[in-house]
A = this chain, B = another copy of it.
Amino acid sequence: MRAAPLRPHPDRLLPIDPGVRGLARRLYEEVAAAPILSPHGHVDAALLADDRPFPDPATLLITPDHYVLRLLHAVGVPLDALGRGPSPADPEEVWRAFCTHWDVFLGTPVRFWFETSLSEVFGVTEQPCAENADELYAHIDAQLQADAFRPRALFDRFRIEVLATTDDPAEDLEAHARLREDPTFRGRVLPTFRADRYMDPSVDGWASSLAALSEAAGVDAGSYAGLREALRRRREAFRAAGGTATDTGVVDAGSEPLNDADAERIHAAGLRGEVGAADAAAYRRNLLYRLAEMSAEDGLVMQLHPGVIRNHHRPTRERYGPDSGHDLPSVASFTGPLTPILRDFGVHETFRLVLFTVDETAFSREIGPLAGFYPSVYAGAPWWFLDTPDAITRFRRAVTDSAGFVKTSGFIDDTRAFCSIPARHDMSRRLDAGYLASLVAEHRLDEEHAFALARRLVDEIPRATFRL
């Protein structure tokens, strides 16, 4: 069997009506080559600082990508066979498993991302299949040895201007420092402060996380007051390292503040391993409030994405660790639980809050309406399960009504898969072009504004939202 050709169509994802497609194509062309601003993602700064060749196609493209893992797992491929088991897997076998099940991705955004990056980054011209798996592996593997495929070369080739990483407050940001001090590297790689590990005093490892943070901050986080001071100092260090934002993922967006005495009491109980569920939740919600308070003070943009159930399948978590494909969405709620933060900082000049959801019912019911009143609130781009052609379109059609364009965040790729970055931004640019073109076709927007908005959505809007 001859493998099917891989030829991403130049008009892919653009609207079907020929007239609208023509305008959409022109709008897309206006921004197709614009630099990439990636203000939220999970690439490791050391990748760029070290600039070592990527090891092999599977380790680069398959094993770390939970979007791929989950769908292969869903059709019965064990995670061991994808390189996530306790013992290492042969990367050629991992790649073969992926190619053999390539049809599983039909109709999904994963297939779109892979088609674009296999074609445009690696010059692949055939759809993967069992028969050509080894050949494709060899083709990509050979390129990965070349200097042109090292991380920094790809960073330049991808036209990435800003890349935000995600980092624990206890991290020393050494790789960021190396990049900043390296005159041969011209990109901006910014740390993002993510303090999730310190939020819940009832989880295992909280006390040891505090110890590491104390060490990094040079202040004892053994008390609640100490933790706040340590977080403040590390935020300052992140800002000094170029950071402009924080990120927080919590079970819910509850943000009721506690008085200091109660917070200290729960903190101490947490250190003794004796904190109950209600106190732990109260502590976490208070800390969310305190992070907002700190953002209002230091101007770091607060990103918030509540409502993800982490590690739903306990046996998989125990065997394969986190980020193995079974984080799942839950019902989103913002308007109620964020009341304390918005009451106190919602119109604060410095405070800024970008809201992300994996429950799209919140688009028109909560996120759009909040961003359409509070100057501090921005509607975060559709994210994770919703970073798909159809959901992105639904986002625009639900949020623009009540928040317009300037209160949306601009695209974020949120990816660990370095080579998928251009494909993901490209998808977003195509879909926004299509949406703008359809507004013009419905006479809801004139062409001149559509072009201006297309440009702003990839440049001015993310720069302003994330204070880049």
Kindly state whether residue A74 has any CB partner on chain B within 8 Å: yes
B390 touches A4 (CB 8 A): no
Nearest CB in chain B to that of A389: its residue: B444
Closest Cβ of chain B: how far from A225's Cβ, in Å?
Answer: 28
Give the distance in Å from the alpha carbon of A304 to the alpha carbon of B76 in the complex: 21
Give the distance in Å from the alpha carbon of A107 to the alpha carbon of B439 in the complex: 7
A-side interface size class: 35 or more
> A179-187, A198-206, A234-242, A342-350: which one contacts chain B?
A342-350
A73 touches B373 (CB 8 A): yes
A370 touches B401 (CB 8 A): no
A46 surroundings in chain B (CB, below 8 A): none
Q: Which among B12, B104, B331, B390 is the interface contact of A397 at CB below 8 angstroms?
A: B390
B374 touches A74 (CB 8 A): yes
A73 touches B375 (CB 8 A): yes
Given contacts A330-B336, A364-B385, A442-B14, is CB(A107)–CB(B309) below 8 Å? no
Kindly state whether residue A359 has any CB partner on chain B within 8 Å: yes
Per-residue interface assignment for chain A, residues 330 to 341, with 1 indicating a CB less than 8 Å from any chain B CB and 0 otherwise: 110101100100
Kindly state whether residue A210 has any CB partner on chain B within 8 Å: no
B370 touches A328 (CB 8 A): yes
> A49-57, A161-169, A310-318: which one contacts chain B?
A310-318
B365 touches A442 (CB 8 A): no
Nearest CB in chain B to that of A368: its residue: B385
A369 touches B385 (CB 8 A): yes
Given contacts A339-B312, A449-B106, is CB(A385)–CB(B402) below 8 Å? yes
Kindly state whether residue A197 has any CB partner on chain B within 8 Å: no
Per-residue interface assignment for chain A, residues 79 to 114, with 1 indicating a CB less than 8 Å from any chain B CB and 0 otherwise: 000000000000000000000000111111101100
Kindly state whether residue A138 has any CB partner on chain B within 8 Å: no
Given contacts A107-B405, A366-B329, A406-B104, is CB(A313)–CB(B12) below 8 Å? no
Q: Which among B369, B388, B405 is the interface contact of A401 at CB below 8 angstroms?
A: B388
Give the distance in Å from the alpha carbon of A460 to the alpha carbon of B9 in the complex: 29
Q: How many copies of this chain? A: 3
Given contacts A16-B438, A365-B361, A404-B105, is CB(A329)–CB(B335) below 8 Å? yes
Most buried by B among A105, A325, A406, A448: A406
Per-residue interface assignment for chain A, residues 404 to 426, with 1 indicating a CB less than 8 Å from any chain B CB and 0 otherwise: 11110000000000000000000
Give the distance in Å from the alpha carbon of A75 to the alpha carbon of B375 in the complex: 5
A16 surroundings in chain B (CB, below 8 A): 17, 19-20, 438, 441-442
Kindly state whether residue A453 has any CB partner on chain B within 8 Å: yes
Per-residue interface assignment for chain A, residues 9 to 26, with 1 indicating a CB less than 8 Å from any chain B CB and 0 otherwise: 101111011011000000
Kindly state whether residue A59 has any CB partner on chain B within 8 Å: no
Closest Cβ of chain B: how far from A375's Cβ, in Å?
Answer: 5
A365 surroundings in chain B (CB, below 8 A): 329-331, 358-361, 385
A442 touches B12 (CB 8 A): yes
Closest Cβ of chain B: how far from A335's Cβ, in Å?
Answer: 5
Nearest CB in chain B to that of A334: its residue: B328
Give the distance in Å from the alpha carbon of A111 to the alpha carbon of B377 in the complex: 21
A377 surroundings in chain B (CB, below 8 A): 74
Give the distance in Å from the alpha carbon of A403 to the alpha carbon of B312 in the complex: 17
Q: Which among B325, B403, B453 is the interface contact of A373 at CB below 8 angstroms?
A: B325
Give the distance in Å from the alpha carbon of A335 to the alpha carbon of B328 in the complex: 8
> Other CB < 8 Å A-B pairs besides A71-B404, A361-B365, 9 of them?
A13-B443, A16-B20, A105-B404, A109-B401, A315-B347, A359-B361, A369-B385, A389-B442, A390-B397
What would be 16 A-B contacts, judged by CB atoms less than 8 Å apart?
A16-B438, A71-B403, A71-B404, A74-B407, A104-B406, A107-B400, A312-B373, A313-B343, A313-B347, A314-B343, A325-B373, A360-B364, A361-B365, A364-B386, A388-B402, A389-B401
